[in-house]
Structure 1
Amino acid sequence: MLPVLSPLLLTSALAAVLSDRQTLAGSNVCDQIAGSISGQVYTPLDLTSHYSQDIEHFMSSSSENPMCVVEVTGTEDVSAIMKIVASTRTPFAVKSGGHASNPSFSSTTGVHISLAKLTQIILSAEKTTIELGMGNHWTDVYTALNGTGVNVVGGRVVGPGTGGFTLGGGYSWLTDQYGLTSDTVISYNLVLPNGTATVVDANNPDLFFALKGGLNRFGVVTSIVYKTVPQPDLVYGGIQLFDSSAVPALIEATVAFQTDNADPKAQVILTLNGGTDPGAILLSFYDGAERPAAFDPYNNINPNLDTLAVQTFASFSQAAPSTLVSGNRGAFATLSTSGLTKNFLTAVANESTYYGDLALLHSGLLLSYDIEPFLKYGEYATDSAFPHSNSPLPLNLYFSWSLETEDSFWRGIMQQSINHLTEVSRKEGIYDPQMYAYPNYALDTYTGPQLYGPTNAARLKVIQEQYDPEEVMLLAGGFSL
């Protein structure tokens, strides 16, 4: 990870951007917040690490320098802040884990609300539900649940926080057994844009629907209550690294896995990498202590590194080295398909190679394409903003680079790659116009109909107008409905 700028350097950078008048106005808002909450307010002048740590993101291009950072301690703090930013029309952001790749989605030059202190993990006495604060990371949750015999349908790699991940839908290692993370939500503790705190559950079907994939358009979620699911003490899985020569065999094996696997406990992610470190990564998981027959298609492909082992779920959750490339500029992009074919995956591999060859000319680092096979998990779908009853398969592009001057180039290249692969999927018969872009992987240029479909997007706009008539949440960035 790149070194974090010191508070003094951040102060200089901020001063170069903000006028005296803006700084004064921001100071007044931040002072007002400081006098209204029990949490802490930090400014660029703060000499501790709180300011810099709270604004840090997985991708440096997602970070901005706010007028102040507010570390909230609970719902009451968030309620007070929402009333102030609404009355002053101050731009703000809400950050959970900091894994959002789109600038201004969880960052701001205004008031930065950090949920880092909201780390409660409360397992019910019956072990049937669990309440998670939105400052948690999934690996912390899995560690806390280790040995309890239960788990939560959560994130797959180190990095994402519980907040944005769940509000975007949430693909999990347990998705084939239970659906998306949002399908397992019992209730949300939500602060509405007007500052009113409320509990959103099935008794409020419109907001309940909107928060399942609708992200940050309807208020600030401080904690979520989830259903728990049974978890064996030991699982099988790990990571395997391959050089580029293994890619054709890995493609054949992944098509066979997608076509033949009928075991919902077995899942894989195949990552094809271009750029400065070409090759492939296979991340495999089985929700049990033995290697399943479902992994047989991969048996005769020799990796350069193999960490497959029987281990706890908490240990397995830290297997993917996803933080090794953090701290660089970057973005996600995506498309969804109804299936996987050899020709489609070969086209994906060709994209990683073709654009990988451009990396050194444009400060490119890692250019990865994540292929994610799933079964018919849509049978577990609930009424959700992000439609998934038809079990779309998300392809995730993650590109990273070092220079800000190359932002437009690489984001344009990512969309160009998505457009090409969409055409390939049409020719392969795996394009479905009713399979939409997964919100947590989508570029910020996507609109409501592209993420949710025209029907759900229209419903979301009605809900937004009902609960946020003053358009307070538009001050926090995010996708346009």
Structure 2
Amino acid sequence: MVVGSFGAAVTSNALTRPTTTDYDHSVAATEVPSGPLSPNINMCMTACIQLEVAFLLAGKQIVSGIGGTSILTSNYWAAQQGAYVPACVITPASAADVLAIVKQAETWQCQFSTKSGGHVPFAGASNIQGGILIDLSSVNEITLSSDKTSAVVGSGQRWANVYAKLNALGLSALGTHTADVGVGGSLLGGGISPLANQHGWGCDNVLSYEVVIGDQILTVTPTSYSDLYFALRGGGNNFGIVTRFTIAVYPLELMWGGSYIYQMAEFAPVIDVMTNFTAQSDSDPKGIATTFLDYTAPVVNPPILANFTAPPHTASTMQVQTEASITTSIPSPWGFQQTFWTFTYKANNALPHNIWVQCEQNVDAFLAQHPVAGFQLGCIFVPVIPTLIKNSNKNGGNAMGLTTDSALMMFLLQITWNNAADQPYVYQFAQAFITEANATAHSMGVNHPYVHLNYAHISQNPFFGYGPTNLAKLRAVSKKYDPQQTFQKLQPGGFKL
């Protein structure tokens, strides 16, 4: 099945859901694990046992699965992640607990991984084979400030719960467009939500971070540890473990949003609508397109989104509803094989048509040669308009290096399938697809170096696309606050500097 999406899904008889030198976005065809598959298991076993004893003496039963008995497949969105078996799983409830775990891991040189929501679709991002898994699901508070302008949110919370609690009070925050994603990973990689055009990325609306780093717990703000504050806005998990975020909160009661369902034959005119929408979005930043179409006010069919009704559509979920309702309206089944691949280009009328032809033709050719069970492919276009980028410059700007020269389009290739044995074929297909699309962008002069961290495959290191100046800043911050390079060496998951 092929799905095209920018709030507008295309159905095809199946469930609908919607390295880099010279910034070359071509990638290796085989998934590279984010760290060694077998850390020193004896050292890790010792660390796990000592942590269990220490926490039990403190009255905390938070260590489980010692000896590799935790089967975690159902705890991860992508089956690749759940296939790893850690030496133990520890579920801390506070930053102090996390600090104790990290110290013990450093003492025994045991590798570890940190899990917020478990939504990253590549092996080892938030799980580890034979090491310590730090599961932040119990660090899950949602505490609204008395003046209702900010909230403290635990890193292990999910956006579905955050939106539900805030929406009930006529409020919202900057998170993600898919509500089953964890707070921690999404904010460290950027985060794009219905309010993004008005207020910037999710990371730009973090007022302070509670971070475990080195042998201390820091409160990081624009004025305290400002260099680390900059690095955490898009720098991933390279600088410590963030346990709590204080985030800005904004008024948002009801909004108009959902999806239009189009037949594949109608998708070419929908692409034209999208490119026109992208060009005009600065005129009304309440309108935004991600995997949904959203207008962040209870206005039915506002002018900025009106053209999406013109192409014939078979169904619509568009209605006035809460953000929580919209972002949970599309099923996101867990436990299947999943992969993301991405690249970014300068918004252009012709390129998305070329990409859509790829989506149709390349899939047919691939499945004729490799009949991969359960294969579903999403071709998803997400505009990044100058207003969004301008609103990201608050508090010194983020690490992602985007400028307001022109509108950009992020392209996300999302593939779901059933069996691990088909992974090499799927990755070869995805590599060829992204390489071809990016080569076309180069030939048209609309290529762009940015690679969105939350959409990237493990072999697409986003930090090269942030530009050499910002990459140098990130590396300097890492060495300053983490001189032992614990979060580069002992926490191998995710994208490293």
Q: TM-score range by the shorter chain?
A: 0.7 to 0.9
Question: Contact 1:368–1:399 at 8 Å: present in 2 too?
Answer: yes
Question: Contact 1:108–1:476 at 8 Å: present in 2 too?
Answer: no
* CA offsets 1:430-466 (integer angstroms, 9 cap, x no match): 223xx41111111211336424221111111111112
Provide the identity percentage.
Answer: 26
Q: Relative to structure 1, is the Cα distance of residues 139 and 23 closer, same or farther in structure 2, using a 3 angstrom cutoff? A: same
Paired residue secondary structure (1:356): helix
Correspondence for 2:440 among 424, 446, 455: 424
Q: How far is the alpha carbon of 1:249 from its aligned partner?
A: 1.9
Query: Matches of residues 452-463 of structure 1 in structure 2 within 5 Å?
Result: 452-463=466-477
Paired residue secondary structure (2:343): strand
Query: Matches of residues 328-347 of structure 1 in structure 2 within 5 Å?
Result: 328-341=336-349, 343-347=350-354
CA distance in 2, matches of 1:150, 1:22: 47
CA distance in 1, matches of 2:285, 2:379: 23
Q: Relative to structure 1, is the Cα distance of residues 451 and 94 closer, same or farther in structure 2, using a 3 angstrom cutoff? A: farther
Q: Relative to structure 1, is the Cα distance of residues 45 and 251 closer, same or farther in structure 2, using a 3 angstrom cutoff? A: same
Counterpart in the other structure of 1:402:
418
Counterpart in the other structure of 2:460:
446
* CA offsets 1:247-304 (integer angstroms, 9 cap, x no match): 112112112212234210011236xxxxxxxxxxxx2111111121112222232323
Q: How far is the alpha carbon of 1:46 from its aligned partner?
A: 9.5
* CA offsets 1:96-149 (integer angstroms, 9 cap, x no match): 011112221111011000011111001100011111001111110011112323
Paired residue secondary structure (2:257): strand
CA distance in 2, matches of 1:55, 1:212: 30
CA distance in 2, matches of 1:443, 1:410: 13
CA root-mean-square deviation: 2.3
CA distance in 2, matches of 1:449, 1:315: 34
Q: Does 1:70 align with 2:90?
A: yes
Q: How far is the alpha carbon of 1:53 from its aligned partner?
A: 5.2
Equivalent position amino acid for 2:444 in 1: E
CA distance in 2, matches of 1:54, 1:95: 13
Counterpart in the other structure of 1:284:
293
Equivalent position amino acid for 2:309 in 1: N
Correspondence for 2:335 among 327, 339, 344: 327
* CA offsets 1:209-231 (integer angstroms, 9 cap, x no match): 11111111111000100111221
Equivalent position amino acid for 2:470 in 1: N
Q: Does 1:40 align with 2:62?
A: yes
Question: Contact 1:104–1:476 at 8 Å: present in 2 too?
Answer: no
CA distance in 2, matches of 1:99, 1:352: 24
Counterpart in the other structure of 2:16:
none
CA distance in 2, matches of 1:293, 1:150: 24
Q: How far is the alpha carbon of 1:44 from its aligned partner?
A: 6.4
CA distance in 1, matches of 2:140, 2:437: 40
Q: Does 1:26 align with 2:41?
A: no
Counterpart in the other structure of 1:215:
236
Counterpart in the other structure of 2:324:
314
Question: Contact 1:136–1:162 at 8 Å: present in 2 too?
Answer: yes
Question: Contact 1:236–1:311 at 8 Å: present in 2 too?
Answer: yes
Question: Contact 2:44–2:105 at 8 Å: present in 1 too?
Answer: no
Correspondence for 2:144 among 117, 123, 133: 123
**Bigger Cα displacement from structure 2, 169-178 vs 52-61:** 52-61
CA distance in 2, matches of 1:106, 1:55: 14
Equivalent position amino acid for 1:476 in 2: Q
Q: Relative to structure 1, is the Cα distance of residues 93 and 300 closer, same or farther in structure 2, using a 3 angstrom cutoff? A: same
Counterpart in the other structure of 1:249:
269
Question: Contact 2:180–2:328 at 8 Å: present in 1 too?
Answer: no
**Bigger Cα displacement from structure 2, 198-207 vs 299-308:** 299-308
CA distance in 2, matches of 1:18, 1:368: 30
Correspondence for 2:356 among 341, 349, 353: 349
Counterpart in the other structure of 1:475:
490
Q: How far is the alpha carbon of 1:384 from its aligned partner?
A: 1.6
Query: Matches of residues 40-189 of structure 1 in structure 2 within 5 Å?
Result: 40-43=62-65, 51-52=70-71, 56-63=75-82, 64-109=84-129, 110-189=131-210
Per the normalisation by structure 1, the TM-score is 0.86
Q: How far is the alpha carbon of 1:400 from its aligned partner?
A: 1.9
Correspondence for 1:294 among 288, 292, 304: 304
CA distance in 2, matches of 1:460, 1:99: 24
Q: Relative to structure 1, is the Cα distance of residues 40 and 269 closer, same or farther in structure 2, using a 3 angstrom cutoff? A: same
Q: Relative to structure 1, is the Cα distance of residues 39 and 454 closer, same or farther in structure 2, using a 3 angstrom cutoff? A: farther
Aligned length: 442
CA distance in 2, matches of 1:417, 1:453: 25
Q: Which runs of 5+ in 1 are unaligned?
A: 1-16, 271-282
CA distance in 2, matches of 1:354, 1:453: 34
Equivalent position amino acid for 2:200 in 1: G
CA distance in 1, matches of 2:346, 2:414: 21
* CA offsets 1:341-371 (integer angstroms, 9 cap, x no match): 1x21111212211332223524461111110
Question: Contact 1:365–1:401 at 8 Å: present in 2 too?
Answer: yes
Equivalent position amino acid for 1:223 in 2: R
**Bigger Cα displacement from structure 2, 30-39 vs 63-72:** 30-39
Q: Relative to structure 1, is the Cα distance of residues 141 and 318 closer, same or farther in structure 2, using a 3 angstrom cutoff? A: same
CA distance in 2, matches of 1:23, 1:76: 25
Q: Relative to structure 1, is the Cα distance of residues 355 and 61 closer, same or farther in structure 2, using a 3 angstrom cutoff? A: farther
Equivalent position amino acid for 1:373 in 2: P
Equivalent position amino acid for 2:461 in 1: T
Per the normalisation by structure 2, the TM-score is 0.84
**Bigger Cα displacement from structure 2, 402-411 vs 142-151:** 402-411
Question: Contact 1:241–1:305 at 8 Å: present in 2 too?
Answer: yes
Question: Contact 2:149–2:250 at 8 Å: present in 1 too?
Answer: yes
**Greater relative CO, 1 or 2 (CA 8 Å, sep 6+):** 2
CA distance in 1, matches of 2:272, 2:358: 17
Counterpart in the other structure of 1:380:
391
* CA offsets 1:134-191 (integer angstroms, 9 cap, x no match): 1111110011112323210111113211000000011111111000011111110000
CA distance in 2, matches of 1:18, 1:456: 31
Q: Relative to structure 1, is the Cα distance of residues 454 and 406 closer, same or farther in structure 2, using a 3 angstrom cutoff? A: farther
Equivalent position amino acid for 2:293 in 1: S
CA distance in 2, matches of 1:361, 1:260: 41
